[in-house]
Structures are given as C-alpha cells and as structure tokens.
Amino acid sequence: MINVVKIAIPFFFVMMALEIFILWKKGKLNYYRVTDTINDLSCGVSQQVADIFMKLVLFGIGYNYVYEHWSIPQLFNFQYISKDSWVTWVWVFIAVDFVYYWFHRHSHEIALLWASHVVHHQSEEYNLAVALRQSIFQQFFSWFYYLLFAFAGVPFEMWFITMGINLIYQFWIHTRAVGKLGFLEWFMNTPSHHRVHHGKDPKYCDKNHAGVFIIWDRMFGTFQEEEEEPTYGITVPLNSWNPLWANLGSYQSLFKEVIKAKGLKNKFWVLFGKPGWRPKETGGPINPVEIDKSNYHKYDTHLPHSTLYYLIFHFIIVLLFSTQLLELATDFINKNIEIQFTVVGGSLLVLLSLANLGGIMENKKWAFKSEIIRHLSISAGILGLINVYEPFFLWVILSIAWAVIQIFWFQYIWKNNHVQIEYSTPYPLPLN
C-alpha cells in the first residue's frame, strides 16, 4: 500500500531547509531555535515510532474488520465504493477533510481530546518544524471519527491515501515566511489562516480548524481573519523540552483535576467539558488572557555551544536510526520474531534517546545516568550485530569505541552544561 506521508518525508526536510534559507535572507532566522526545533522533531519522531503499533491495531485491523463485517454495503448487499473512478476519489477527499474539521474542532472543545492534541500547539514558535510536532495518543481518538468511512464502505487504501494527502497539504501552511494569498484565502486553508489557529490570544483561540478547505470554518462559525501577528503556544505553557512529558503532562494535569473535582457531574465536565473547565471549588475555569507583548518572553534554555553540538549530532543519529526502523517495521505483523523483537527494542531506544536529549537541554539530574545507560545500550546493540555481520573483531571494536567516545564526550559537556532557564510568560500554574 502506498504511504504518501512516508514518501513525503524527504520533501518535508527540503522545505524546512528552504524556509530557513528564506528566513535567513530576510534576517528572521530567530523564527527557528535549535532547542525548540529538536523538541518539535522529537515529538514527530516519537509519534511515528508509536504509530508502528497503533496504526496496525487501530486502523490496519480495526478499520478493515468494520469494513468487511459491519459496513453498509456488507449489511445491505450494496455495491462497495469503487477505487477506479477519479470522481469517487475527489468526493472521498472532500469527505475526509470534512470529518477532519469536526475531529480537529472537537479536539479543541473537549478536554480529554485536547490533552492529546495539545502537543501540536505547545511550541511558542511557528515554522515548518512545528507541523511535524504530533501527539502519540491522538490516534486513539481520531480512530472513532474515521471509522465512519469503514461503515460507509470506503476501502482502507482509499481512506489512507486521501488522509495522507490531507496531512501533507497541512505541512506547508505552518510558516511565517508566506503572507496572504489573495483569492485563495476565501476557500483554502493558508499560512495566514493557520497562524490564527496556533495563536493563544483570546480572539484567536479555537478558530480555523480546517485541514484543506477553510470553507468549513466559514460555514460553521469558527473562522477568524488574521489581523495582527498571533502569540503562539498554549495558555498554560509546557515549559519543557522533553517529548515524552509533552505527551503525558497534559493527562497528568487533567486527571489531577478529575480527582480534585467533587461529584460525578463535575468529574464528567472536567473530562468532557471545554479545556480548562474547573468547578468553582477548585478555582473555576482557566480562560485565555490578553498578552502584554511588550513584556512577553518564551520558554528557553540558554545552552553552551558544546552542548548544542552534542544534541544536534545525537538527534541526527536518532533521526537516521528511526528512518531505518520505520522501514524495517513495514508490514510488522508478518515479520519474523527476530525482526519484531528488533523493532520493539529499537522503538524503546528511540523514545529513551529523545527523552534524554530533552533532559540534557533542561539539565535534569536523571538525564546523566539515563544517557550513560543509553550509550551502553547502543554498544550492546552493536555487539548484537555480530550475529548478522562479520568480521567479529570489527564489531567488538566498534562497540567499545562507541561507548568510550560517547561517554567521555557526554561527561565533558555535562560538566560544562551551565543552563540558564527562562520560563514562558504568563507563568504557568505552580510547578511540582
């Protein structure tokens, strides 16, 4: 089956490089920050690795089961939707975008859904790297919406390809390098419209949920024109570079509020009411506030260059490894047990690596021991290749060399990792 998103990954990085070049020529290279960009891409890599397992269960198995047993054509002996007509493809593409609008809108209006979708909005920058910042858990909720296509008798391949094209389109609109686009602004989602969507200013919150066609927002009352430059991010900032905490922190906060709320009714509305809803006895709703842009500053950690070089090098290694892992995981269910074990182990190593890089950016104490463990794990993995590649002594030498060089390098940068942390404005709720 064609995976159009996977095919487009090299295009994403070429476009990012082009955007960086354009911003550099315009003297606006500060729209990218190394720490923020690594965090954005780490969230994207985490989501892709988790998708190896989630898409297999939720979509690959679940979608096809509904399609084959419970779809309208199956139940009423109708003709299945044909993949041979281009008109059908167009209608399915429009329907996919319509359903995406409602799922996306509900992800901003229902607290439990927002807890997963919030990952995409946590960055206080707005660039093409942010487009790749995705949630590990969002698939759990979107699955229920897209099963509508299985019930309607849309073949999985048709849904999968049209959904992929929809997501690819949304990549390029995450940029500040492109202004308004004339008549296209009336019916297409554009960078201007989507900048509004990522704004946390009160008038911009929960607007412009469209994927491809902005007409849905115009029709259903959620459209907002871009007037002045939005302030990007979320009303209670994440203040962290850890991609795993980015995915889990919102759930921790949400369920703490559920526990504090008295009575089933209040607990229900904390979960399924608007994000930030709280009963009066626990402080009342958290609403967006006007932002004083003259005194506004973003979350940042000022790192020595030696630390940045280490982070960039190891993130590139993790990125390249993840690419190979995703290739190996193709048709995961039909692979032999050794490859399945390798994919599971490799996925855990990727998640550990990305969490460690985030911890190093924040100078967390746990990151020191965890990073040593990671390098020893990689060394052990290299030794494991002895069973696959020869000569024996070459892989032993590579294993020892990796552990020695990386651990000494890491200890050097850790001793000199004098991190200055600047928290985002407005300051969030008290930290634990």
Q: Could you tell me the sign of the dihedral formed by the alpha carbons of 371, 374, 378, 380, in that order?
A: positive
**N residues, the chain:** 432
Region 236-243: what's the mean pLDDT?
93
d(CA 351, CA 338): 20
Confidence band (pLDDT; 50, 70, 90) for 420?
Answer: confident
Q: Where are the domains of the chain?
A: 4-220, 304-416
d(CA 3, CA 136): 19
pLDDT number for residue 389: 61
Report the share of the chain in percent with pLDDT over 90: 65
Q: Which of 419, 305, 431, 402 is nearest to 367 (CA)?
A: 419
Peptide bond before 391: cis, by omega within 30 degrees of 0? yes
Asked whether residue 356 carries a pLDDT value surpassing 70, the answer given is yes
Cβ neighbourhood burial of 66 (10 Å; 0-12, 13-18, 19+): middle
Q: Which of 123, 121, 116 is nearest to 37 (CA)?
A: 123
d(CA 367, CA 311): 13
Strand partners of residue 188? 213
DSSP run (H or E) holding 235? none
Choose the weakest-confidence range: 72-86, 128-142, 418-432. 418-432
Q: Which of 56-70, 109-123, 136-150 has the highest mean pLDDT?
A: 109-123
What's the chain's average pLDDT? Answer: 89
d(CA 141, CA 299): 29
Asked whether residue 431 carries a pLDDT value surpassing 70, the answer given is no
Tens-place pLDDT, residues 365-397: 999 999 999 999 998 887 776 666 666 777 788
Tens-place pLDDT, residues 291-348: 888 888 899 999 999 999 999 999 999 999 999 888 888 766 667 777 788 888 889 9
Contacts 24+ apart (CB under 8 A), 27-30: 28/176, 28/177
Peptide bond before 428: cis, by omega within 30 degrees of 0? no
Choose the weakest-confidence range: 97-111, 304-318, 395-409, 411-425. 411-425
First-to-last C-alpha distance (Å) of the chain: 46
283 φψ region: left (φ > 0), alpha (ψ -120 to 50), beta (else): left
Q: Which of 143, 132, 141, 149 is nearest to 107 (CA)?
A: 141
pTM above 0.85, yes or no: yes
